[in-house]
Amino acid sequence: MSEPLLQAVNLECERDDRVLFRDLSFSILPGSLIRVEGPNGSGKTTLLRILAGLNDSYSGDLLWRGKSRNGYREEFLRNMLYLGHRPGIKPLLTPMENLRALMDGRRLLPDKILWQALEGTGLGGFQAVPCRNLSAGQQRRVALARLLIADEPLWILDEVFTAIDIQGVAALERLLIERVENGGAIVVTTHHDLRLPSMQRVTLGGGDGYGY
């Protein structure tokens, strides 16, 4: 079995005097997809933000390739891609400029590749239109264009299917499957009925999840 990319060991998180999860342990292996499930408010987004390194208010350990993540922050960030609720798209900039700004800190790619990635997400012809003139779904697609050119082995995706149309959802599912088959690891939350082979589940909000 291959080495886990990220391991959560006895994670516990409390928010507003409520225990969201406790003793949560799981491993994210290359070539696997983990779906984080649970009702609204059960801490799915919080868990994903903790995994991505945006939220530090947890106890327990996170191991990156077997070593404590805190000592390897830059290496971890180089190998992880996080897409949150807020897509990271500036309304005043065009999709092209947004994608360029998001990619430049990670990987230098020629304009042509970025242009094609935007075409690949169905934004052909919109590359130079300011994002505020695009629909919510189109704006999400700008962020999703990153997935087409991302080479990070670990993806953490929060509600990726939001505001995407049926064809888009199908294509995105294909992309995720293909990615997992190629050895990528993906953690997602979604209320969309995702049916993928070899999907692991992490369920929140059950049992002692609520500490009222």
Partner 1 sequence: MATEFTVTLRSPEVSVGTATAMKAVFVRDLKTAFRQPQDLLNPLLFFVMVVTLFPLGVSPEVSFLQQAGSGILWVAALLSVLLSLDHLYRHDFDDGTLEQLVLQPQPLFLLVLAKSLAHWVLTGLPLVLLAPVLGVMVHLEGNSVAVLCLTLLIGTPVLSLIGSIGAALTLGLRSAGVLLSLLIIPLYIPVLIFGTGTVMAASEGAPVAGQLALMGAFLMLALTLAPFASAAALRISLSNS
26 forms bridges with which residues in the sheet? 8
Strand, coil or helix: what is 12?
A: strand
Stretch that binds partner 1, among 33-41, 93-101, 188-196, 200-208 (CB under 8 A): 93-101
* 202 contacts partner 1 (rule: CB under 8 A): no
Least Å distance between CB 41 and partner 1? 16
Assess contact for 195 and 207: CB atoms under 8 A.
no
* 142 contacts partner 1 (rule: CB under 8 A): no
Kindly state the number of chain residues that form the binding site for partner 1, as judged by CB under 8 A.
56
- How many residues does the structure list for the chain? 212
Least Å distance between CB 57 and partner 1? 6
* 106 contacts partner 1 (rule: CB under 8 A): yes
Please state whether beta strands 18-28 and 6-15 pair in parallel, antiparallel, or not at all (unpaired): antiparallel
In the set 19, 62, 63, 149, which binds partner 1 (CB under 8 A)?
A: 149
In the set 55, 162, 190, 200, which binds partner 1 (CB under 8 A)?
A: 55
Stretch that binds partner 1, among 18-26, 36-44, 87-95, 196-204 (CB under 8 A): 87-95
Closest CA to 62 of 24, 112, 35, 33: 24
* 122 contacts partner 1 (rule: CB under 8 A): yes
The alpha-helical segments, DSSP class H, found in the chain are 44-52, 73-78, 95-104, 111-120, 136-149, 166-181
- Report DSSP state, residue 29: -
* 60 contacts partner 1 (rule: CB under 8 A): no
Assess contact for 208 and 22: CB atoms under 8 A.
yes
Q: What are phi and psi of 48, to 5 degrees?
A: -65, -40
Strand, coil or helix: what is 89?
A: coil
* 205 contacts partner 1 (rule: CB under 8 A): no
* 182 contacts partner 1 (rule: CB under 8 A): yes
* 209 contacts partner 1 (rule: CB under 8 A): no
Q: What are the distances in angstroms from CA 108 to CA 87, 100, 111, 183?
A: 20, 9, 9, 23
Binding site for partner 1 (CB under 8 A): 52-57, 74-75, 77-80, 82, 84-93, 97, 100-102, 104-108, 116-117, 119-122, 130, 141, 144, 148-153, 168, 171-172, 174-175, 178, 182-184
